[in-house]
Every structure is written in C-alpha cells, then in structure tokens.
Chains A and B, each alone.
Chain A
Amino acid sequence: MKRRFVSLISLSFLLFSALAMMPQSRPALAQQPTPSDDEVNAIAQDLFCPVCENTPLDVCPTEACRQWRELIRQMLAEGKSEEEIKQYFVENYGARVLSEPPRTGLNWLAYLVPPVAFLAGVFLLFRAFQTWRRMAREAAAEAGSGSVPAAPPADEYAARFEAELKKRK
C-alpha cells in the first residue's frame, strides 16, 4: 500500500514537472516574434501594388507599398499563412496584385499560348529542316551524277533534241 502511494506521488510529481516545463501555447501565439524583413519580403516579392505597376512590393519605395509590407508583417505576426495573406490582398485590391494571374477564365491563355506557340515553332523548324536536308541530298545526288544522263529520253523527239544540244556544245 505504502509502495503504491509513493509511486502515485512520484507520478504526480513527474506529471506536474512535465506540465510546468511545457511551453505555454496560448500566450506564445499572442506574442509571436515580429516577422523579419526577409519573411515579409518572401511574400511581398510575389505581390504588385496597383499604384506602382511593374515594381514588386518588396523593392517598391512608395509609402503605399511600405504600408502594405507593414500589413503583411502584421498578418504574419497574427499567424496567417502565405496563402491567407495573398487571398486577403486579392479580395481587397483585386487579382492584379498577384505576380502570376490566377488560373481562371481567359487568364488560361497566358499559360497555354506560350507553350503551344513554342511547340508549334519547334514543329515548323523540324519540318523546315527536313525539307532543307532532302533538298540538299537531291542537289548532292544531282551533282554526283555528273554528265551521265539521268534517264533515257522519253521519246524520239526528245532524243533528237538532246543530240542536237550535244552537237552545239
């Protein structure tokens, strides 16, 4: 009985110690360290402010973009994921803030046309090379045959014509 009591006390002590050593999850969430510039810029580099088009948010020097970066920092500190942050920006400022257009509707053209055009170009080049090689082979065969007539004259008139030509040479 006494042994069981000691075991129970030891177990309780161990459990209490383990609980005391565990990180306090709730306060830790509320006090996450301030996200660094690198963490903010990792998301900002994929976003474009409509005010300063063609300048990624991570390098844009305007006040509007500085505010956006601070908003990203704030959202990261709140524990928001990259996807959630980007979704927020799309909802509030439109899809044009994204560096890549969303894969919907006519936007698909931006993804499909370049590879299709590239493949079409490769196919056309392949066909052109085939034609050029065949022409080169035929030209070489013709040059190699020299003065040997390629084929017998088709009829008597042609034979006489060829003979006349040879006489004049």
Chain B
Amino acid sequence: MTEALPPHKKQVSVGAQIAIWGILLGLLALVAIVLFKAQQPILRSGSQVPDFTLPLYSGYELNGASEVKLSDLRGKIVVVNFWASWCKPCEAEAADLEAAWELYRPGGQVVFLGVDYVDTEMDARSYLAKFNITYPNGPDKGTQISQIFNRNLGVPETYFIDRNGILQYAKIGPFTSLDEIRAIVDMLLGE
C-alpha cells in the first residue's frame, strides 16, 4: 500500500504491432510456399505439360531446326528422355531408345527428344556417337526443362506426352527392353 507504483510502461502502438506481426507472418508464408513447391517434385500423369523449348545439338536437329518447341509438336506423341553422359544406367537403355526411334520414325506420329541433363557438350557428343543415337538431342539449359517435369530429377527418366500435350506416363529409371517402350507408345498411338 505504501509502495510507489511502478513507472508506467511505454506501449508499442497498435499500428506498429500489426506491422511487426504482418512482416513475421509474411515471412512464414513465404517459407511455407517455397517448401510446398519443393515438395511437389513431379509433374503428375494427366497434367498438361507446360511448354518448353529445347535447343538442339548440331547434327541432332529436328527437320533442320536448331531448336524444338513442345507446343509445335501438338498432334504427335512426344517421348522426352532425360539422360547424361556420366549416367551409367542411361547406357543400358540407349540402344533400345534408338531402336524405338528407328521403328516409329517412318510413321511420323512419334517424336523422341533427348534432353541432356547437367552435362558437358563434349562428353555428350561422345556418348551420342558411342550409341549411334540419331533422334533430336540437346542440353537442358539452366536445368529449366527438368524442373518442369521433376524437381528432384535423377537420370534416366522418360516422359510420354500424348497428342494433346498431356503427360500420360513417366518412367523413372532405365527401360529394360525395347518392348517396354513399344508397349507404352503403342498404347498412346491406339488412343
């Protein structure tokens, strides 16, 4: 009763409190969005594949064009294969992919695209020559194409896109036979 009251504490204004909480919540929301996006690693089957442009290595052009745009291939089945010269499992499927390309090439209904992932051009060219690959191939500049399909891409991975630009099937890992590739492509051709 006889004690003096404690000095009046200076209060932070309501506006300043709202601003501080707003900034903190904004930062938390930003972190949440980034983490949420990072946890969406793969383009789901049935999704429209966002458009991309693949620059092509000289000697591996498509109808003489030095780059190919996915949207320009609408009406065709597109097989997008991610590979790299340093990738040993890629070597296991290289011959089967080339054989499949040779099989479907005359029909003109199927296009194979090789996307060279995190590679150097010199080593990539050696790889392409070693396995006699002839279908269009080019580098994944800035890893922009791989991030469309799978943020945590591990080569080899192959994506099958139907005539409407819809992803129909994703193969993670190497194909074990030509028949495995044919089964998927034939199914899409029959649709």
Residues on A facing B (Cβ under 8 Å):
49-51, 62-64, 66-68, 70-71, 90-96, 106, 109, 113, 138, 142, 149-151, 153, 158, 161-162
Please give the distance in Å from B117's CB to the nearest CB on chain A: 8
Interface of B is mostly: loop
Cα(A49)–Cα(B143), bound, Å? 11
Residues of B contacting A49 with CB < 8 Å? 118
Are B118's CB and A51's CB within 8 A?
A: yes
Number of contacting residues on B, CB 8 A? 20
| B119 in contact with A67 (CB, 8 Å) | yes
Q: How far is the CB of B126 from chain A (nearest CB, A)?
A: 11
B93 to chain A minimum Cβ distance, whole angstroms, is: 18
> Would you call A63 and B1 a contact (CB within 8 A)?
no
Contacts of A149 in B (CB 8 A): 2
Number of A-B residue pairs, CB cutoff 8 Å, is 52
- Cβ of B86 within 8 Å of any chain A Cβ, yes or no, is yes
Cross-interface CB contact of B1 among A71, A109, A161, cutoff 8 Å:
A161
Q: Check if B115 is an interface residue, CB within 8 A of chain A.
A: no
Residues of A within 8 A of B139 (CB): 92
Q: B180 → chain A, closest Cβ, in Å?
A: 25
20 extra A-B contacts, CB within 8 A, seeds A67-B86, A93-B118, A149-B2: A50-B143, A51-B84, A64-B84, A64-B86, A64-B118, A64-B119, A67-B85, A67-B120, A68-B120, A70-B120, A92-B139, A92-B141, A93-B142, A93-B143, A94-B143, A138-B6, A150-B2, A158-B1, A158-B2, A162-B2
Q: Which residues of B contact A (CB under 8 A)?
A: 1-4, 6, 27, 30, 84-86, 118-120, 122-123, 139, 141-144
Interchain CA distance A71-B144 in the complex, whole Å = 21
Collect the chain B residues with CB atoms within 8 Å of residue A92's CB: 139, 141-142
Residue contact B144 to A150, C-beta cutoff 8 Å:
no
A-chain residues with CB within 8 Å of residue B6 when the two chains form the complex: 138
Contacts of A64 in B (CB 8 A): 84, 86, 118-119
A117 nearest CB across to chain B (Å)? 10
Q: Which of B27, B85, B120, B142 touches A71 (beta carbons < 8 Å)?
A: B120
CB-CB under 8 A from A67, the residues of chain B are 85-86, 119-120, 123
Residues in B whose Cβ lies below 8 Å from that of A70 = 120
In the bound assembly, the distance between CA atoms of A142 and B3 in angstroms comes to: 9
Query: Inside 8 A of B86's CB, which chain A residues have their CB?
Result: 62-64, 66-67
